[in-house]
Structure 1
Amino acid sequence: MRTSDYFKPDFLEKLMREQAPESEIKVQSVNQFPVDNSASILSTLNAGTTGQEIGHFGLEVNFLKDGKTCSRRMVMKVKPHGDVTSGMLRGLAEMNGEPLTSIYAPFTKLTGFQNTHMRELKVYKKLPASLQPEIFGLMEDRPNNIFLVLMEALEEVDLLNSVMKPGKWTEEYIEEALLKIAQWHVAHIDNNNTLNKHYWSRDVPSKKYMMKLQPLWLALLKSAARNLPEVYTKENTGLLEDAIEKIPTYWDVLEQQPKTLIHNDFNPRNICFKNTGGSPQLCLYDWELATFHVPHYDVVEFLSFVLIPENYDQRLKYMEYYREELNRLTGRYEDGEDFQRIFAYAALDFGLHRLGMYMMAHSISPYPFLPRVIHSYFDTLKQLKYLLP
């Protein structure tokens, strides 16, 4: 099938009927409208690499549902196979030069991107939740290596694509995000039986995994320090060099901690807030990097993105707000200092893995937000330095 075939009324009708089998649906017409793809990093980086159109496509769908006339603006997300994304990232590694050129290849399918084509589909299908966008259809088109998500168009919402506007993240928005992600984490803590483990079999963080990839973490760090020395100072780089050596030590502790399904891309590029007439309601999308880790990990990332130097002093307050909700729901996080220690260990993983991969891409196609985020991240380590291994 051509990509354009996915926008035809009969195809969308089939998709929507499969998603809502309890309803009688008849699609009458479909009109396309433009959608900005620039906020999707993987879509942007993959553009032109597959010979197929991938990305986000706006569709105004007019249909009958149980005899009632409906019209909804939707977005069709056309995803590439994880092989394509992993291969693209290997190309970026080679473009970075040494040491990544020599080091990256054996780890190509182990950096968390190999199953991005399936993880998001499985999360939406098996674990629907109120904090996700409304999903109208899902499809695995294996012969054509295209994977589809038909979701609501996120319009008339707050803080959509706000990664360049951290000043707009007020206390109300930050606390709503922390509250809802805590509830998600608790709902899935110590429970990965719902999802097909095949798509989470090789690259879920663990002591063994983090030690196996030690050469890659060091190569990513050296490359980042070369490309962004004003943020990766000698002191900051030293913190992560030390972390690489101490992976066995801090992962001995992390291995004993409860794990949950984390979003693993929990930041303003994938967050907005719906207005329901009362307080803002979190909407969290793009679940393709979802994996299993300590729940603290998502919060490390989130606060690195939304805090600016003027409110770095609020980081511990927001950590405590999140801890209190986790503990209220589970009774397992009463010790505040122990919680901060695990938070610090999760931060080490985030710096080595996600920020290392971000920097690899940034050096080829710069992300204006990234230096600010990494600066905020290193403030996390400085505030918790006394707890590091």
Structure 2
Amino acid sequence: MPAPSRAFPLPPTPPLPFMPSLDYFCSRLFVESLMRAHAPQRQLRVLRVEPLPVDNSASILAVLTAGQTARPVGHFGLQVTFEADGEPARTERMVLKLKPPGHEVAGMLAGLAQACGGELARVYPGFAARSGFQHTHHRELALYAHHPSPLMPRIWGLHQDDETDEVYAILMEYFDAEEVELLNSVMQPEAWTDEHLRAALAQLAEWHAAHLVEPGAPGLPAWPDLPSEAYMQQLTPLWQGLLDNAAQHHPGLYGPERVAQLSEAIRQIPAYWAELAAAPKTLIHNDLNPRNTCFRRNAAGELQLCAYDWELATYHVPPYDVVELLSFVLDADRYHLRPHYLEYYRQQLHARTGRFADAEAFRRLAGLAALDFGLHRIGMYMMAHTVGPYPFLPRVVDSLFDTLTQLQPLRPEPAYA
């Protein structure tokens, strides 16, 4: 991705002189403009666009922000009939994702913090623009434009308008639950079989290896919310506020022992981030869980992971995505498999990079990633959970704390080498 925090160039699309209605965004004219800009070398003509039902429930940010803005926001299913390069007309099912600008998402989350009250409400405004959501509208479009991959949905068109009405649109592949596997399976973790997990971990290792950046090497962007030792220390009041909120409103999940564990993690941020700073980083999804993934099968019956909603993408150590995924899909009856899957991923990553030969050091790295995941992403989840409960979240929290129990990242260890 481009290095400057606000430089996310996309192929040009015609500017919009006004804020159109949803009907305009779903029209033949707009869809055709996206498709033509995305594939300028092709002769494209859209003949017809018809609505299709689509489930918006898995997109938490879109659902929450939709109630706070007058602009059309969300996912809209479309059946598009078009001609290309003189070939016979064809029909494809697509999804138009209309994204709110990041400042609206950040404002919505600030409102949730105020609704939670307490210390979180007091400290959150000072960090609202740095909690990871201020640039969500740019990052997802930039990923799709500059890093196409089998790991992503097929993209039919992108639209970014910063100058007039802040319109951000993605025209992408439509996923049908009858044609893909484990679509929005956040409430069915048991459906993630060993076959699914091994396929996902191997393909994540391939992605992470392809985007690996060695410590000290140029390549990391200058984003104000990029995880680093300085970032984590500067946001210490936010991590503490998120933890206090979870303990106050959800004492059954955040009992004294767990609160003490994460409080100690906050205290040790300088020490454990000195270790993380010495480790290679990669481009992570940063929201990799069954709300944002599914699987296709190719003609040979092999599974291909597909991850979408890349709006929180950032750079962190490679096992971060794996820690999150396993926290979502491993229930108590499969906690004992966590070390096995972490080791399988390490082997896959090492085979592609030659950088992760030491299994114990890698487990240490995964444990440190789990601390960041617990303080930041789970803390933010718990803030939203306080206002509107997420049924999947308690088991994810339990699984995360089992990760910390297994990996023991707060024990003194030599720096990662």
TM-score category, normalised to shorter length: over 0.9
Q: Which residue of 1 aligns with 2:75?
A: 56
Q: Which residue of 1 aligns with 2:235?
A: 213
Question: Are 2:224 and 1:202 aligned?
Answer: yes
1:215 CA drift (Å): 0.7
Contact 2:80 2:94 in 1 (8 A): yes
Identify the match of residue 173 of structure 2 among 132, 136, 152: 152
Q: Which amino acid in 2 is paired with 1:65?
A: A
Contact 1:126 1:194 in 2 (8 A): no
Identify the match of residue 133 of structure 1 among 153, 161, 168: 153
Identify the match of residue 107 of structure 1 among 118, 127, 131: 127
Q: Which residue of 1 aligns with 2:188?
A: 165
Identify the match of residue 101 of structure 2 among 77, 81, 103: 81
Question: Cα distance 1:379–1:161, how it changes in 2: closer, same or farther (>3 A)?
Answer: same
Question: Are 2:303 and 1:255 aligned?
Answer: no
1:25 CA drift (Å): 0.8
Q: Which residue of 2 aligns with 1:272?
A: 294
1:10 CA drift (Å): 2.0
Q: Which amino acid in 2 is paired with 1:154?
A: F
Q: Which amino acid in 2 is paired with 1:12?
A: V
Q: Which amino acid in 2 is paired with 1:249?
A: A
Determine helix, strand or coil for the equivalent of 1:99: helix
Q: Which residue of 2 aligns with 1:368?
A: 391
Determine helix, strand or coil for the equivalent of 2:129: coil
Structure 1 stretches lacking a partner, 5+ long: none
Q: Which residue of 1 aligns with 2:210?
A: 187
Identify the match of residue 20 of structure 1 among 11, 36, 39: 39
Determine helix, strand or coil for the equivalent of 2:295: strand
Q: Which amino acid in 1 is paired with 2:165?
A: N
Comparing 71-80 with 3-12, which one deviates more in the overlay? Answer: 3-12
Question: Cα distance 1:159–1:233, how it changes in 2: closer, same or farther (>3 A)?
Answer: same
> Any idea what the Cα deviations from partners look like across 1:155-202, whole Å, max 9, x if unmatched?
11100000000010100001111111111001111189889x4xx510
CA distance in 2, matches of 1:331, 1:246: 30
Identity %: 51
Q: For 1:316-355, what aligned pairs fall within 5 Å after superposition?
A: 316-355=339-378
Q: Which amino acid in 1 is paired with 2:286?
A: N
Question: Cα distance 1:387–1:320, how it changes in 2: closer, same or farther (>3 A)?
Answer: farther
1:226 CA drift (Å): 1.6
Q: Which residue of 2 aligns with 1:294?
A: 317
> Any idea what the Cα deviations from partners look like across 1:234-289, whole Å, max 9, x if unmatched?
11111110000000000011111111110000000000001223122111110000
Q: For 1:217-228, what aligned pairs fall within 5 Å after superposition?
A: 217-228=239-250
Question: Are 2:22 and 1:3 aligned?
Answer: yes
Identify the match of residue 57 of structure 2 among 13, 24, 38: 38
Q: Which residue of 1 aligns with 2:382?
A: 359
Normalised by the size of structure 1, how large is the TM-score?
0.97
> Any idea what the Cα deviations from partners look like across 1:308-339, whole Å, max 9, x if unmatched?
10010000000000000110011110000000
1:136 CA drift (Å): 0.1
Identify the match of residue 328 of structure 2 among 293, 302, 305: 305
Contact 2:265 2:410 in 1 (8 A): no
Give the 4+ runs in structure 1 shifted more than 4 A.
Answer: 191-195
Structure 2 stretches lacking a partner, 5+ long: 1-19, 413-417
> Any idea what the Cα deviations from partners look like across 1:285-306, whole Å, max 9, x if unmatched?
1000000111111111000000
Question: Cα distance 1:221–1:57, how it changes in 2: closer, same or farther (>3 A)?
Answer: same
Contact 2:364 2:409 in 1 (8 A): no
Q: Which amino acid in 2 is paired with 1:358?
A: Y
Contact 1:59 1:75 in 2 (8 A): yes
Normalised by the size of structure 2, how large is the TM-score?
0.90
> Any idea what the Cα deviations from partners look like across 1:10-55, whole Å, max 9, x if unmatched?
2211211111122211100000112111111001111221111200
CA distance in 1, matches of 2:245, 2:49: 47
Q: Which residue of 1 aligns with 2:6?
A: none
Contact 1:37 1:44 in 2 (8 A): yes
Q: Which residue of 1 aligns with 2:4?
A: none
1:104 CA drift (Å): 0.6
> Any idea what the Cα deviations from partners look like across 1:54-97, whole Å, max 9, x if unmatched?
00000100000112211000000000000000000000001001
**RMSD (Å) for aligned C-alpha atoms:** 1.4
Contact 1:345 1:388 in 2 (8 A): no
CA distance in 2, matches of 1:194, 1:255: 14
1:388 CA drift (Å): 3.5
CA distance in 1, matches of 2:83, 2:156: 14
CA distance in 1, matches of 2:319, 2:251: 28
